Structure 1
Amino acid sequence: MHMKRTLQAKHKQDGMTLTSFVVVLAVVGFAAYIGMKLFPMYQEYYSVRSAAKAIAAEPGVGDMDPSKIQSMLFKHLDINYSENVKEENVKFDRIDSGWRMKVNYEVRRPLVGNLDVVGVFDISQDLTRGGGTD
């Protein structure tokens, strides 16, 4: 009698049904799909951020003309294959120790049907006369 109950208890613990497995697989697949759409956007953002930090480390960058600084930025971005940052997205404000470079841009990627994923990125970097980041 005791043996029969143990077998029945084990039989009830079958695990995941095919339907629940398909639902879990669909959720994981959709999350992976969204991740594949978002990854290039954030990879580009980190490339722009690292390019801005590299320029800030240049000695005497705070005394340079903004057009020269912008040219340096786009040379860095060409190396990193950035395609969404345009010249009109880069602005310079005068600060006491040099320049504050602001890079504001938007990336739009199609997701499903008529739905898009939109990323709005805003990067600000101080460019001082001595070089180095503040």
Structure 2
Amino acid sequence: MKRTQRGMTLMSFIIVLAVVGFAAYIGMKLFSMYSEYYSVRQALKGLQAEPGIAKQDPAKIKNLFFRRLNISYSENVKPEHVTLQRRQDGPGWDMEVNYEVRKELVGNLDVVGKFHADEQLTNMGDGG
């Protein structure tokens, strides 16, 4: 009775290794984009918890927001990506952050991520 070997050939192993390596490379590019988005969300949540934020003027709110982002080394969010509007149903502000991140992938191929985050800044600072 003749036994046949089973398993991967060297060529198939190299192909699998290349596919896994390329997937890991894409994952590293995407991780930094989503890490920055997480920092934006955390900065917005931190602003919402700030006492008296609903009474602040827009320039002060943007300044506090970008100071929080500087701590996490966010570099893709610019002041023109941030909008503040007075809330229609009560005191405070509606803050939106819309931005796009483009990372070079391979040659002339890029990975593009469009991100949106918003928060209602309603903390009056008087315990409520």
Check whether TM > 0.5. yes
Percent sequence identity over aligned pairs: 61
Q: Which residue matches 1:86?
A: 78
The structural deviation recorded for 1:24 is: 0.6
SS at match of 1:44: helix
Q: Which residue matches 1:117?
A: 111
C-alpha distance after superposition, 1:38-66 (max 9, x if no partner): 11111110001101100100111111101
C-alpha distance after superposition, 1:69-109 (max 9, x if no partner): 00000100111100001110100111123101001111111
Query: Which of 47, 50, 54 is residue 42 of structure 2 equivalent to?
Result: 50
Structure 1: how far apart are the matches of 2:34 and 2:81?
17
The structural deviation recorded for 1:30 is: 0.5
Name stretches of at least 5 consecutive residues in structure 1 with no aligned partner. Answer: none
Query: Which of 3, 23, 27 is residue 19 of structure 2 equivalent to?
Result: 27
Q: Which residue matches 1:16?
A: 8
Q: Which residue matches 1:68?
A: 60
Q: How high is the TM-score relative to the length of structure 1?
A: 0.87
Q: Which runs of 4+ in 1 moved over 4 A?
A: none
Q: Which residue matches 2:102?
A: 108
Amino acid paired to 2:121: L
Structure 2: how far apart are the matches of 1:129 and 1:63?
8
Structure 1: how far apart are the matches of 2:81 and 2:65?
12
Which structure is larger by alpha-carbon Rg, 1 or 2?
Answer: 1
Q: 2:48·2:123 contact (CA, 8 Å) conserved in 1? A: no
Structure 2: how far apart are the matches of 1:67 and 1:44?
22
Structure 1: how far apart are the matches of 2:52 and 2:100?
30
Q: 2:86·2:93 contact (CA, 8 Å) conserved in 1? A: yes
Aligned length: 123
What root-mean-square deviation, in Å, do the aligned CA atoms of Structure 1 and Structure 2 show?
1.2
